[in-house]
């Protein structure tokens, strides 16, 4: 979900700081949503019930940034180098999240679920590290990757990257327009069939993830290639409010299948075009950079702690005021933890892998 432009390209291309900030804002919204999903299972009572559309924002932003970074470079660096760079950028945190996930699963003091699946836990871990879908734990949502559920979107991100390298990069805009139209129809159908777009993460809604990434990733490429940057004096705060309003849309079983495709097809690409064209303000530069840096690690390390929160809620049956305190502290603690993982583990690993790649 996190697509930071390679440093080697930044000297010749501008950096979209506001888009970095929006990515971090969306990641925080996802964390809050996952806490709220446990505390308030009925989405109609969840104030941030549509934060799962942050994933569609990630996919669209990914298409934009991948095209921005590699449309002019892929041919010169070669397919293998492109794939290695993507693995180095994305996969360390896939494995880190899996390690945190297996530790939290095995040592959860308030749940005995590990005992039920202890014999298969090794294969759950391997599948999580290799991003091989392995829906197993029926008691908890039947996720593809129980140890670290957000990995499902990385699975589709990898699929999108492969399609880009082998196919999409060769297409002209007219063909991309046609693909985008087809993808929009498939997305709308998926919303109608499933009732919403919270799909793609589990054993019973696999192909919904394909519809989501198909539209948003291709739309992101089209935004970049069509140079849809909307110049404005809107800063990070203003555009961030626009994005946040998406997550705060009231949940309605009656209208979700209409509202959500409209938001994903039209509004989220508009937000990216606004973010790409807006001029960053010095006051917000640091928060945008920090937000962009922690967005991917936050997304990839938070969910094992959501499982711990779920065990706490199931075993202790706390009142809402108590859960609010735990959630507020949890969000802040996870942001700090994600930053520590970034600077102490993720960045050093990626630097070492890049050195080895360059040495070869």
CA 50 and chain centroid, separation = 14
- Tokens matching residue 284: 């917000």
pTM score, two decimals?
A: 0.94
How many other C-beta atoms are found inside a 10 Å radius of the C-beta of residue 327?
18
Tell me the domain boundaries of the chain: 7-359
Measure the CA–CA gap between 194 and 257, rounded to whole angstroms.
Answer: 8
Provide the residue-wise pLDDT of the chain in tens; the chain has 360 residues: 555 444 443 345 678 999 999 999 999 999 999 999 999 999 999 999 999 999 999 999 999 999 999 999 999 999 999 999 999 999 999 999 999 999 999 999 999 999 999 999 999 999 999 999 999 998 899 999 999 999 999 999 999 999 999 999 999 999 999 999 999 999 999 999 999 999 999 988 999 999 999 999 999 999 999 999 999 889 999 999 999 999 999 999 999 999 999 999 999 999 999 999 997 777 788 999 999 999 999 999 999 999 999 999 999 999 999 999 999 999 999 999 999 999 999 999 999 999 999 887
3-state secondary structure of 232: strand
3 state DSSP class of 279: coil
Q: List the end-to-end C-alpha distance of the chain, in Å, as a whole number.
A: 28
């Amino acid at each position: 979900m996190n697509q930071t432009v390679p440093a080697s390209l930044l000297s010749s291309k501008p950096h979209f700081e506001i888009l970095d900030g929006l990515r971090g804002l969306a990641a925080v919204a996802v964390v809050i949503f996952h806490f709220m999903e446990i505390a308030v299972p009925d989405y109609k009572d969840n104030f941030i019930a549509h934060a799962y559309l942050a994933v569609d924002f990630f996919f669209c932003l990914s298409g934009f940034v991948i095209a921005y970074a590699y449309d002019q470079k892929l041919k010169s660096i070669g397919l293998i180098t492109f794939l290695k760079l993507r693995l180095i950028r994305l996969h360390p945190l896939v494995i880190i999240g899996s390690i945190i996930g297996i530790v939290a699963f095995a040592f959860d003091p308030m749940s005995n679920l590990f005992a039920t699946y202890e014999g298969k836990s090794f294969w759950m871990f391997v599948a999580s590290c290799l991003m091989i879908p392995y829906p197993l734990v029926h008691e908890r949502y039947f996720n593809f990757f129980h140890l670290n559920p957000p990995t499902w979107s990385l699975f589709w991100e990898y699929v999108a990257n492969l399609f880009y390298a082998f196919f999409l990069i060769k297409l002209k805009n007219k063909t991309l327009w046609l693909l985008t139209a087809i993808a929009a129809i498939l997305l709308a159908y998926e919303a109608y069939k499933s009732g919403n777009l919270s799909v793609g993460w589990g054993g019973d809604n696999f192909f919904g993830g394909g519809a989501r990434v198909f539209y948003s990733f291709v739309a992101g490429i089209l935004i970049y290639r069509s140079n849809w940057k909307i110049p404005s004096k809107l800063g990070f705060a203003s555009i961030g409010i626009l994005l946040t309003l998406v997550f705060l849309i009231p949940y309605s079983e009656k209208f979700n299948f209409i509202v959500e495709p409209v938001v994903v097809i039209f509004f989220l690409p508009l937000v990216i075009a606004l973010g790409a064209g807006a001029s960053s303000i010095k006051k917000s530069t640091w928060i945008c950079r920090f937000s962009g840096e922690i967005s991917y690690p936050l997304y990839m390390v938070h969910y094992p702690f959501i499982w711990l929160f779920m065990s706490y809620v199931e075993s202790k049956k706390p009142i809402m005021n108590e859960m609010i305190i735990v959630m507020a502290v949890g969000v802040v603690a996870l942001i700090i933890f994600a930053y520590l993982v970034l600077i102490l583990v993720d960045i050093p690993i990626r630097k070492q892998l890049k050195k080895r790649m360059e040495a070869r």
